[in-house]
Structure 1
């Protein structure tokens, strides 16, 4: 069974997904951060594939992308770094990024490499649902790689139900129509959106992303979904601390258990 599916079956609530950019702050930090997240009590991990034009991301993640690329990070290098990770990491691991580098690498070649190193799923926000279903789903299925779709407050009920019926693992529930790192807290409009989606009784669990940064916002998200995704706030943690393992353990504990 896919590790993502297994996680939500065995642990349906209060799941914390941490996002970080591969090759940042330093090129060889990817495995260090991944192992620290495993040991700190994170529930799943999202590794960002650096891209030169990350249009959906705010300044913090944009800067991390640029630095990682300057450090020499590439899709090929990332797969080299992840080789053998399953000897020390049991968490579900997803790769997140933009479709263009994946197409350049070759969709089938990319999925095959994911399967070989133990990646469980992909999040490609700019890949259209219909294009995935028509051209790529059989390839993803062949290698056991889940494709995680995003929904926003503007996504129609029809499209949400289409996504739900063609998904496994979870649905990434973007809390607002903004870039990453631009929101603080959970507004009344967001709560109305969460309630609307909850009322649809979808078969897939959801994780809420954008605007989650601490114990308070994590708990608020967990009232409406199976957990939350933290990106920009976590990037700032690894950006500002030399001792990555210690900083990561402290931060994850503070988010899940409170100060």
Structure 2
């Protein structure tokens, strides 16, 4: 899976690395319309699912139905909207997403109640995005005992949807912790840091693989 981030001026869930990347993109003239124009020509070349991640303000401004239609035209399989209230998801976004065959990925944190987690599990498909903490994105060297217990607690709930753990995956230790308790891991800040460092996507990927083996 490739997560495609939509730059936004006030990304509440993102740490300094992703915020900085978004600021640069916006200064360079990136818009949602332009992003779709970049994705559409390569959709037949990408063999793994694409998932859009962006904040509600940008999507509402673009138009929810237009957004879903553009996603389908660009080969996108699903979307993550970190600040989407669940009631709005059920009443507004889900019916339109279902119409276009798109999956809306909801997030949970260590503070999310079991009742709410099961409700999310019952009313979504695709996967559940497990945020490793109630903080912002950013690489971590390890997950403490509280986070490990959170991972095990959710794993023991036997949810119908697979789970992906994100926020803080940066090395072998954090990757293995995620893999032991979920279907996989989501890596953002570490890759963006390497991309900024090497200015070359292939080199950044090589260095990311190396970091995940250490």
**Aligned twin of 1:140:** 97
Query: Any conservation in 1 of the 2:139–2:170 contact (CA below 8 Å)?
Result: no
Which one scores higher on RCO, CA 8 angstroms, separation ≥ 6?
A: 1
Alignment of 1:1-259 (within 5 A): 44-181=1-138, 183-252=140-209, 254-255=211-212, 258-259=213-214
Matches of 2:81 and 2:5 in 1, distance apart?
A: 10
Q: Comparing 90-99 with 236-245, which one deviates more in the overlay? A: 236-245
Asked whether the equivalents of residues 58 and 182 of structure 1 are also in contact (C-alpha less than 8 Å), the reply is: no
Give the secondary structure class of the aligned counterpart of 2:26. helix
**TM-score, structure 1 normalization:** 0.80
Distance, in Å, in 2 between the alignment partners of 1:240 and 1:115 is 33
Aligned pair in 2 of structure 1 residues 80, 45: CA closer, same or farther (>3 Å)?
same
RMSD: 1.3
* Cα drift, residue 120 of structure 1: 0.6
| Residue 215 of structure 1: how far off its partner (Å) | 2.0
Q: Distance in 2 between matches of 1:186 and 1:147?
A: 27
Is the 1:169–1:205 Cα contact (8 Å) retained in structure 2?
A: yes
- The equivalent residue for 1:13 is none
Query: Which consecutive unaligned segments of at least 5 residues does structure 2 have?
Result: none
Measured after TM superposition, the shift of residue 254 of structure 1 is 4.5
Moved over 3 A (4+): none
Query: Does the 8 Å contact 1:123/1:147 carry over to 2?
Result: yes
Number of aligned residues: 214
> Can you give the 5+ residue segments of structure 1 that lack an aligned partner in the other structure?
1-43
TM, length-normalised to structure 2 = 0.96
